[in-house]
Amino acid sequence: MTGVAGDALQRVREICLALPDTKETLTWGSPYFRVGDKIFAGYGETDGRPTVGFKLEKPHAEAIVADPRFTPSKYVGRHGWVTMDLADVDDWGHVEDLILESFHLIAPKRTLAKLD
């Protein structure tokens, strides 16, 4: 994977794997990031554009999809999962904040304690 997609995957990978007790797995043919056995983020491509999916609190997920870069994730969108188009990202800090929110929702308390 090269170009925009390769760069986006590398950035997502760096953000996710910097968190405690995380690992990358190939799931459904794409890189997914887990804490323990639970997925907190997944990388993919839609129409050739790089994307990342993550879980948000439902009110946050419902509000953020007003931004055209975000869509409810297939199959799990009703549970607060959102997919973000990464092709034109200019604020990777925002992407990191959203992935971190997902991590906080998914990770066990003992893992979250390692963030302090």
Mean pLDDT by 10 residues, the chain (116 residues): 76 98 94 97 94 98 97 94 96 98 98 92
Give yes or no for a contact between 43 and 31, defined as CB atoms under 8 angstroms apart: yes
Domain ranges of the chain: 3-115
| Amino acid at the residue 60 | H
Tell me the CA distances in angstroms from 52 to 49, 60, 109, one per residue in order: 10, 16, 24
- What does the pLDDT read at residue 6? 78
Amino acid at 12: V
For residue 104, the model assigns a pLDDT of 98
pLDDT for the residue numbered 1: 54
Give the Å distances, CA to CA, from 8 to 51, 69, 70, 92, 94.
Answer: 8, 15, 16, 10, 14
Q: Are 53 and 81 in contact (CB under 8 A)?
A: yes
pLDDT, position 4: 65
Supply the pLDDT for residue 78.
92
pLDDT score for 2: 52
pLDDT number for residue 28: 84
For position 95, what pLDDT does the model report? 98
3-115: CATH class:
alpha beta
Strand partners, 38: 35
Calculate Rg over the CA atoms of the chain: 13
